[in-house]
Amino acid sequence: MDIKTATLADLETLAPLFDGYRVFYKQKSNPEAASAFLRQHLETGFSVIFLATDPEGKGLGFTQLYPTYSSVTMEKFYILNDLFVLPEGRGKGIGKALLERAKQYAIDQNLKGLSLATATDNPAQHLYEKLGWEKDTDFFYYFWKNGNVL
């Protein structure tokens, strides 16, 4: 397995994985929109995407990080917003490798760290904790949803 920073040249490999990720979270499949979304992010550098591939270059999974800042500590960190491994690749260390690559990126960039949010019933929680991620017990997170947007 190879893990690399995705570029525009990887769009054809990455887009079906991203579409699969969205379907996993109960969104309608939309390969064209998934490709356009990723193209924009790859062209602008809006996010950092790590792509896992097999020796033949087939996409196995990805993780996408978005930059943000802590005003309190005045430090930059990234939100690990997306992590997806194809069903046939689960349990083979791909998710772990992607998470470790994201952590190494944070170290290399001298970031405060990484954050992620996950569903309370997500079985990957044990992997996060095994890799040193700590569940936040100090803060509640809230989200306001704009009812005017679909």
In a domain? residue 143: no
In a domain? residue 78: yes
In a domain? residue 105: yes
Q: How many domains does the chain have?
A: 1
In a domain? residue 149: no
Query: Domain of 84?
Result: 2-130
In a domain? residue 145: no
In a domain? residue 67: yes
> So what's the pLDDT on residue 15?
98
Residue 14 near residue 22, CB atoms below 8 Å:
no
In a domain? residue 146: no
Task: Provide the 3-class DSSP secondary structure of residue 110.
Answer: coil
- Beta strand 2-5 with 48-53: parallel, antiparallel or unpaired? antiparallel
Claim: this prediction has a pTM higher than 0.85: yes
H or E segment and range at residue 101? helix 94-108
In a domain? residue 49: yes
> So what's the pLDDT on residue 150?
64
> So what's the pLDDT on residue 141?
85
**CA–CA distance, 95 with 74 (Å, rounded to integer):** 30
In CATH, what number is assigned to the domain containing residue 107? 3.40.630.30
> So what's the pLDDT on residue 149?
73
Which residues, given as ranges, of the chain have pLDDT below 70?
150
> So what's the pLDDT on residue 147?
85
What CA–CA distances, in Å, run from 50 to 28, 33, 95? 24, 20, 11
